[in-house]
Amino acid sequence: MEKPFAITLSVESSLANHTGSWRVEKPEYVHRMPPCNNACPAGENIQNWLYIAEDGSYENAWHALIQENPFPAIMGRVCYHPCQDVCNRSFLDEAVGINSVERFLGDHAIEKGWKIPAPDVESGFKVLIIGAGPAGLSAAYHLRRLGHDVTVRDATHAPGGMMRYGIPKYRLPREILDAEINRIKEMGIRFEMNTRVDDVHVAMDEGFDAVFLAIGAQLSKRAYIPASEAARIMDAIKVLHDVEEGNQPLLGRKVVVYGGGNTAMDVARTAKRLGAEEAVIVYRRTRDKAPANDLEITEALEEGILVKWLSTVNHVGQHELRIEKMELDEKGFPQPTGEFETLEADSLILALGQEVDFSLLGNSADLDVVDGTMTVDATMMTSHPGIFAGGDMVPADRTVTTGVGHGKKAARNIDAWLRKSTYENTKNTDLVTYEQLNSWYYTDAPHVVRERLEASRRAKDFSEVVKGLDESNALYEARRCMSCGNCFECDNCFGVCPDNAIIKLGPGKGFEINLDYCKGCGICVSECPSSSIVMVADK
């Protein structure tokens, strides 16, 4: 067509006009630290595996997850999910049920028989791990993935540490525990069970290049309580251990548990399952001060466990014991009131916490123990070169997940130490707050409540209490993730640019700013739901 000069123009001829020159700031795509990832003691990249799971790619999601943590099915049951406590979604409606999705992925992997990839190359280094609890197993797993020759030694006859001998099966069914541990075994890790290590130095001399100590805290703390001779006083760890080994402890009709931690809850609930008519927990402070996880307290109460808050055991007799009422002072410490009460009790189980058994250190002066825990540096190495430690025996939260995190961290540092380099954690530290998100774009989607076994049925046997999610629920839950600080391809930036200055690179490839046309208005940044774009100075 013949175009009259000037009054008629060719279409899209404005592409010659590079309006990008107007810009003083430019948008930049970034990856930021979501609060969940930041809070995960195992250092999981939660947002990432949720993102992968969101489109149903469960196997890929599982693989991404086990980059950091080999136990999703276990985590999905016993982890106290601090990630969820800080989930930004809780400001919108409720936290994402990260833990339930993790369990779903873990269970799914077991069901499908997914395997851990073999290491690319064998390093030729030999590492000894003492203790087959979560810390030791995690270290073994990560070291093996890095190509090292790993031997795990443990005093008990089955691996798992407190996951097996502490946590009761109604919370962690053993087939799940076994499945996830077996998968690790299959990586070619040597397990030497029923092998107590009495001297770490002797073990070192066997030709290992490094040692990871993860012996946990096996010794129950004792308290002095006046008691008559016929009184039955037991310790919780031993009770749980016996139950696991199939040795029915003699508890009697009425059981009192002394302590306010998870162990106390577990042992009380176990007592009920073993046939006790009544299980009473005695704790010297209040519920909100109790170290036990609140959900565990709730579950215990649901199962008919009674709790005497603000009480201490004063004297133990054969069929009764005396407790004293306490009150909290201004500082929140319990103080005796002089008021007493008598409870019927056939036995008292002490659940007052555990201590580390350092006897295997022998008399080595170069291993530094302070306040009952072993000192380690930022690389998890003890004061003895080549000996690393983690889990309950070092100062930190005593949880399975922390142990797993220690194991991973130690493994990566052991690997570096063996290769005479240093391990750099390249994680982004730019934490995403809720205010930085554009919450408008997240539709209201409340959290899926995990089904639980009816309380009346529960206390009768050791069946698992908390049920898993089915696939559609898990998918829904995964998709509730707001993807804090990491693009989830919502296309907003691509859509909202008035200058059409964003290029969509295609699925999984993200976006690119076309700086020829970007005027730097910042709308893409404002409208990014997940705060994955920032404005930075330009020119």
Ligand X SMILES: Cc1cc2nc3c(=O)[nH]c(=O)nc-3n(C[C@H](O)[C@H](O)[C@H](O)COP(=O)(O)OP(=O)(O)OC[C@H]3O[C@@H](n4cnc5c(N)ncnc54)[C@H](O)[C@@H]3O)c2cc1C
Query: Helix or strand or coil: residue 3?
Result: coil
CA distance 426 to 435: 25
Question: Can residue 134 be called a binding residue for ligand X (CB under 6 A)?
Answer: yes
Residue 223: partners with Cβ closer than 8 Å, 6 or more residues away:
258, 350, 352
Measure CA of the first residue to CA of the last residue in the chain; give whole Å.
Answer: 42
Question: Can residue 166 be called a binding residue for ligand X (CB under 6 A)?
Answer: yes
Question: Can residue 78 be called a binding residue for ligand X (CB under 6 A)?
Answer: yes
Of 391 and 529, the one with the shorter C-beta distance to other proteins is 529
Question: Can residue 21 be called a binding residue for other proteins (CB under 8 A)?
Answer: no
Question: Can residue 434 be called a binding residue for other proteins (CB under 8 A)?
Answer: no
Q: How many residues bind other proteins (CB under 8 A)?
A: 64
Question: Beta 210-213 vs 126-130: how paired, if at all?
Answer: parallel
| Residue the block writes with tokens 């997914």 | 114
CA distance 105 to 346: 43
Question: Can residue 523 be called a binding residue for other proteins (CB under 8 A)?
Answer: yes
Contact 50, 486 (CB under 8 A): no
Calculate ∠ Cα 496-499-502, nearest 5°.
65
Of 218 and 532, the one with the shorter C-beta distance to ligand X is 218
Question: Can residue 133 be called a binding residue for ligand X (CB under 6 A)?
Answer: yes
Binding pattern for the stretch 178-207 against other proteins, x by CB under 8 A and - elsewhere = ------------------------------
Of 27 and 168, the one with the shorter C-beta distance to ligand X is 168
CA distance 358 to 481: 43
Contact 128, 398 (CB under 8 A): no
Question: Can residue 91 be called a binding residue for other proteins (CB under 8 A)?
Answer: no
Which among 369, 368, 388, 315 has a CA at the least distance from the CA of 345? 315
- 19's contact among ligand X, ligand SF4, other proteins, none, with CB below 5 to 8 A by partner kind, is other proteins
CA distance 242 to 168: 11
Question: Can residue 6 be called a binding residue for other proteins (CB under 8 A)?
Answer: yes
| 132's tokens | 């087959």
Contact 163, 133 (CB under 8 A): yes
Minimum Å gap between C-beta 371 and ligand SF4 is: 46
| 22's tokens | 């107007």
**Residue from 89, 145, 148, 153 in contact with ligand X (CB under 6 A):** 153
Residue 154: partners with Cβ closer than 8 Å, 6 or more residues away:
130, 131, 132, 136, 161, 191, 192, 193, 194, 195
Minimum Å gap between C-beta 442 and ligand X is: 30
Minimum Å gap between C-beta 513 and other proteins is: 12
Minimum Å gap between C-beta 492 and ligand X is: 38
**Residue from 72, 131, 249, 529 in contact with ligand X (CB under 6 A):** 131
| 362's tokens | 């022998």
Question: Can residue 234 be called a binding residue for ligand X (CB under 6 A)?
Answer: no
Concatenated DSSP letters for 111-139?
HHT--PPPPSS----EEEEE--SHHHHHH
Of 238 and 479, the one with the shorter C-beta distance to ligand X is 238
Question: Can residue 382 be called a binding residue for ligand X (CB under 6 A)?
Answer: no
- 18's contact among ligand SF4, ligand X, other proteins, none, with CB below 5 to 8 A by partner kind, is other proteins
- 54's contact among ligand X, ligand SF4, other proteins, none, with CB below 5 to 8 A by partner kind, is other proteins
Minimum Å gap between C-beta 494 and other proteins is: 6
**Residue from 44, 54, 102, 154 in contact with ligand X (CB under 6 A):** 154
Contact 387, 367 (CB under 8 A): yes
Question: Which residues are near ligand SF4 by CB under 6 A?
Answer: 27, 29, 487-493, 497, 499, 501-502, 511, 513, 518-524, 528-530, 532-533
Question: Can residue 262 be called a binding residue for ligand X (CB under 6 A)?
Answer: yes
CA distance 448 to 472: 11
Of 377 and 516, the one with the shorter C-beta distance to other proteins is 516
Of 4 and 207, the one with the shorter C-beta distance to other proteins is 4
| 308's tokens | 């005497």
**Residue from 327, 340, 495, 512 in contact with other proteins (CB under 8 A):** 495
Which among 173, 177, 181, 120 has a CA at the least distance from the CA of 147? 120
Would you state the torsion angle of the CA atoms of residues 79, 80, 83, 86, taken in this order, to the nearest 10 degrees? 180
Of 459 and 513, the one with the shorter C-beta distance to ligand SF4 is 513
- Where do contacts with other proteins occur on this chain (CB under 8 A)? 1-19, 22, 54-55, 440-443, 445, 472, 475-476, 479-483, 488-492, 494-501, 504, 506-507, 514, 516-517, 519-523, 525-527, 529, 535
- Where do contacts with ligand X occur on this chain (CB under 6 A)? 78-80, 130-136, 153-156, 161-163, 166-167, 196-197, 214-216, 218, 240, 262-263, 266, 360, 391-392, 398-401, 403
